[in-house]
Chains A and B, each alone.
Chain A
Amino acid sequence: MLTILFDGIAYGMLLFILACGLTITLGLMNFINLAHGAFAMTGGYVTVVMMNRFGISFYWCLPAAFLASAILGGVLEATLYRRLYHASHLDQVIFSVGLVFMSVAAADYLMGGQQQLIQLPPELSGRTEFVGVGIGRYRLFTIVVCAILVVTFQLILAKTRFGSRLRAAVDDRRVAMGLGINVPAVFALTFAFGSGLAGLGGAMGAEILGLDPNFPLKFMIYFLIVVAVGGTSTVSGPFLAALLLGVADVAGKYHVPAIGPFVIYGLMIIMLILRPAGLFARGGR
């Protein structure tokens, strides 16, 4: 029972890291980016290639995955995404579905259609007994890393100059421009950062979530649930939503495998009807 809770939390944390870039794209730029999973997949494949082909340590792969996805995200933002911030949501959906299709086919072409496996460092594999509860070491590692990231993320937003600029840009783009904030640059950096986090999540999740060319499609709904349920006005909203989703999904698959997905989709739909602005949104609409 506690093991399930623990696994669920690890899974939820991972989902948050994967999805929080999407929170930014949606909340900040009001851009429906269905291709967010492609950045995560990039991170995953970077790790696979570095570890399996070049034998580079897993620990070095994580920052590399972050960087690779961040660069990819930054480049795509500057060349493509930026042009569509004011396009209709339908255009954004079509555009990002197009990107998903391209990434799926490209991954298939470059890496093949099979599941990718990575060999975790020995100190991270296996389980440790802790007060009678079996704890996967890798899951513990995941929780620790994600927790550090969440705290850092929150601090950056709350304390740094960049954070306050970002918040100003979210609140009112025009006012922020008037204050001399370079809004496009803030957007680009944030987009790259969000993509990087997704890449990192993809790298860490290769073990837990699996990795194959269909990754962006398979997890799209999960990312969207995190954002839609958590809302885009806070960091804690999506974080709690991700934890909830993680625990519910793991518990659902374990206890009621036959109706697990129904529980999640059903809850999501009910939630969206009751609180269209997100479960943890501040204030009423």
Chain B
Amino acid sequence: MSLPVQESVQTGAEEQHVDQSRAHRLMQRRTTVRSFEILIWLGALATVYLLPSKMLILTEIAILALFAVSLDLVLGFAGIVSLGHAAFFGLGAYTAGLFARYVTAEPVAGLLVAGAAAGLLGYATSFLILRGSDLTRLMTTLGIALMMAEAANQMAWLTGGADGLSGFSIDPIFGLVPFDLWGRNGFIYYLVVLFLSTLVARRLAFSPFGLSLKAIKSNPVRAALVGVPVRRRLITTYTVAAVMAGFAGALLTHTTSFVSPDVLAFHRSADVLLVLAIGGTGYLYGGIFGAIGFTLLKDALSVVTPQYWMFWIGLLLVILVLVGRARLTRWVDDLGERLPGLRGTNR
């Protein structure tokens, strides 16, 4: 009589062991570094040697990519549609410019200060986007960005107003590595910042925090009912994303040694949204792929039709949406192995 019971307990324990090791395997696989990730960074590094004459456009791509990865945290992970992400980019750019002009022109210090300033603004404004529908969030983010743009325009004594902020030049990185004429050292520096930021975003995405973010995006009511403090998570995410956008703005200032009021313009917020539309949201590398695609396309179009490239970008977006972004960005899923648990709905 006791034998079968014994046996079933044994099998139960075995089954449990099988389930558990399967669960561990699945969780591990979720976070493995994918081959395409390694390829991207190796490729980026290779361009330094292979395309020395293209440093300027590569720099542009790196900055836009960083900006887009930052927006992806907000949009692709937390599910907040923002039309005003340029507020943080612009504040970062101006902070870096002012810091270089009045305090020190060492870029890394400027970068950190700019990130901190943008992060503060992000934290302060995050409370405004916690409630409400997509429309109110859209309006609030847009309104904040417009107010920032107006502030920069009005405070001409500080920002140079419509003429922009100039009169500073950037010192060598850590006082050691100068920005060279071809932009090579600069590009390596930008690449390092982009790499580190993406790394941080990646850790974040695969952490328990990241797990709760996508749950919030998918179903905020249910997320709260498994114990996720939705508001707190959104505040943190928005702040982190703002810091990264501030970094991107600072990098632009460091490239050009000039801050134009254009850094806060609406089209910057729109462009970065379009970058994610092209690259896909919710898996981090959409910002990088999108930035490459968008910049190359814009570059090619503005050679063909310098005044009217905007028309073709617009047409591309309309087609992209009509055909279905999800369908067009599905190739991402097939990049070698996928990013399970990170592919997301674009809802």
Contact = CB atoms under 8 A, between A and B. Distances in A.
Interface in A107-165: 108-109
Contact of A98 (B133, B140, B314): B314
Interface string B294-326: 000000000000011111011111101110010
Given A265-B146, A269-B144, A98 B317 contact: yes
Contacts of B138: 32, 89, 93, 224
Given A88-B347, A94-B277, A262-B150, A99 B139 contact: no
Contact of B150 (A26, A98, A261): A261
A80 B322 contact: yes
Given A94-B274, A225-B139, A273-B128, A89 B314 contact: no
A201 B345 CA distance: 39
A104 B136 CA distance: 25
A269 B144 CA distance: 8
Nearest to A259: B154
Contacts of A100: 314
A175 interface: no
Interface centre among A26, A97, A103, A225 (most CB of B within 10 A): A97
A102 B146 contact: no
A87 B310 CA distance: 24
A228 to B, nearest CB: 5
A87 B327 CA distance: 13
Given A88-B346, A276-B133, A95 B318 contact: yes
Interface in B325-347: 325, 346-347
B270 interface: yes
B42 interface: no
A99 B314 contact: yes
A53 interface: no
A245 to B, nearest CB: 13
Contact of A108 (B142, B307, B314): B307
Contact of A89 (B134, B150, B322): B134
Interface centre among B134, B273, B321, B322 (most CB of A within 10 A): B321
B325 A261 contact: no
Given A26-B135, A32-B134, A266-B147, A101 B273 contact: no
Nearest to B155: A258
Interface string A50-88: 000000000000000000000000000000100110011
Given A32-B135, A259-B154, A273-B131, A94 B143 contact: no
A87 B132 contact: no
Contacts of A99: 314, 318
A106 interface: yes
Interface string A164-176: 0000000000000
Contacts of A108: 307-308
Contacts of A209: none
Contacts of B307: 105, 108-109
Interface residues of B, number: 45
Interface residues of A, number: 43
A102 B139 contact: no
A272 interface: yes
A227 B136 CA distance: 10
B272 to A, nearest CB: 11
B321 A95 contact: yes
Contacts of A227: 135
Nearest to A32: B135
A217 interface: yes
Interface in B64-113: 75, 81, 83
A76 B140 CA distance: 28
Interface string B195-228: 0000000000000000000000000000000000
A1 interface: no
B168 interface: no
Interface of A: 26, 32, 80, 83-84, 87-95, 97-106, 108-109, 217, 221, 224-225, 227-228, 258-259, 261-262, 265-266, 268-269, 272-273, 276
Interface of B: 75, 81, 83, 128, 131-136, 138-140, 142-144, 146-147, 150-151, 154, 266-267, 270, 273-274, 277, 281, 307-311, 313-318, 320-322, 325, 346-347
